[in-house]
Amino acid sequence: MAGELDYLGFVASESARFAEALREAAPDAPVPSCPDWTADDLLWHLTEVQWFWGTIVRKQLTEAAQVEALEIGVRPIDHRAMFAFYARVSQDLSELLASTTPETPVWTWADDHSVGFIRRRQAHEALIHRVDAELAAGNRTAMDADLSSDGVDEVLRVMFGGVPPWGEFTPTPEHTVRFRTTDTEQTWLVTLGRFVGVDPDSGTDVDEADIRVAAVDDGRPAAAVVSAAAADLDCWLWSRPAVGPVDRDGDAKVLARFDATIAQGIN
C-alpha cells in the first residue's frame, strides 16, 4: 500500500488537526495515552520530531554523524510561543517534503533511506499524535480508513518487523497471527520468532522476541486471527485505545506471545 496514498496531504491535514485538538486542551492537561506527558509536552514532542525530519530534508543529510549533531534549541516557556513555533516547523516540513522528490537520498533509521520514507512516516506520526491530542482534549474524531490501514502495514512491517541486516531472524513456523481490517479488507500474515545478533554500534549481544510479516498473505491457516476496523487496529497496535471492538480468536498462547513481543516497545 505504501506509495498509493497522498502522504503529503495527510502530513498537512493531520498536523493541523493535532494543533486544533490541543487548542481545546489546557496546557497542563494529562495525555491519557502518553503517561507522564501534559498537552504541552505532546506539543513539544511533535514540534521536535517535525523539526528534526524537516532539517534532514532541507539539508539533505545522509550521514548519521550529521544527524547526531542536530539541536533544536530550548523549549519555549510561553504556551503561545510554543504553538507559534510548532506552526512554523509544521509548515516548513510540509513545504520541504512537497518540494523534494521522494527518491532523494537522506539519512533515516530504516533500510529505506529516502524522502519518500519520511513522507510516509510523518503522516503516521502526525495521525497517532493527533489521536493523543484528542484524548487529552476529550474530543475524539474519526481516522481515515485508508491511512489507518496503511498505518497497520507500517507498524507491523517497519516499526515492529524491521529486522536489521546485522542479525538473523529465526521463525517459529507454527506461531502465526493473521491481522485483518474489516473495512478496508486488508490482511497481514505475521510469524513470531527470535532475532539474534550483535549490534555493530554498541557491540551488544541481542537476543529478543520478534516478528516477520509475509511479503504476501498466501491465505494459509493461521494459529490466531486479530480483526478490527483499520483505525481500531492501527490504534491497538500503537497501544492507543480503540473506539470499536478488536476481535482476537485462535490459539491463546500465540496471541499472548505476540502481546509480549510488541510489549517490548517499538525500536
Q: To the nearest whole number, what is the mean pLDDT of the chain?
A: 95
Q: For domain 7-141, give the CATH number.
A: 1.20.120.450
DSSP code at position 23: T
CB 40 within 8 A of CB 152: no
The 10s digit of each residue's pLDDT in 158-170 is 999 877 888 899 9
The 10s digit of each residue's pLDDT in 26-69 is 999 999 999 999 999 999 999 999 999 999 999 999 999 999 99
Q: Where in the chain is the domain with CATH 1.20.120.450?
A: 7-141
* Residue 2, pLDDT above cutoff 60: no
Helix (H) or strand (E) holding 247: strand 247-250
* Residue 253, pLDDT above cutoff 90: yes
pLDDT for res 266: 64
* Residue 176, pLDDT above cutoff 90: yes
String of DSSP letters for 162-224: ---TTEEEEEEEEEEEEEEETTT--EEEEEEEEEEEE-TTT--EEEEEEEEE-SS------SE
pTM: 0.94
The 10s digit of each residue's pLDDT in 80-106 is 999 999 999 999 999 999 999 999 999
Phi/psi at 170 (5° precision): -110, 115
The 10s digit of each residue's pLDDT in 109-139 is 999 999 999 999 999 999 999 999 999 999 9
pLDDT for res 1: 47
